[in-house]
Amino acid sequence: MSRKCLENKAKEEPKFKVRRHNRCPICGRPRGFMRLFNMCRCCFRNLAREGKIPGVVKSSW
């Protein structure tokens, strides 16, 4: 319940722009957010592994 409330609160426009906080649009995770892909690291990893993000390949060394 509280997670859903925080997701809805993050969607609203804050009174001051410094209060804005990035959240993953897929799962709502507030931490580990990647601005370049607009998602958290967990969702990024899953989608990259499935090949759904163009130009991203699994690295092997």
**In the structure, what pLDDT confidence band is assigned to residue 1 with cuts at 50, 70 and 90?**
low
13 phi/psi in degrees, rounded to 5: -80, 125
- Supply the pLDDT for residue 43: 94
Domain boundaries, the chain: 4-50
Binding residues: 24, 27, 40, 43
CA 59/CA 43 separation, integer angstroms: 17
Binding residues for Zn(2+): 24, 27, 40, 43
Other beta carbons less than 10 A from residue 24's beta carbon: 22
- pLDDT tens, 9-57? 777 888 898 888 888 988 888 899 999 999 999 999 999 999 999 988 8
Q: What's the token pair of residue 34?
A: 């990647």
State the fold for domain 4-50: 30s Ribosomal Protein S14; Chain N (4.10.830)
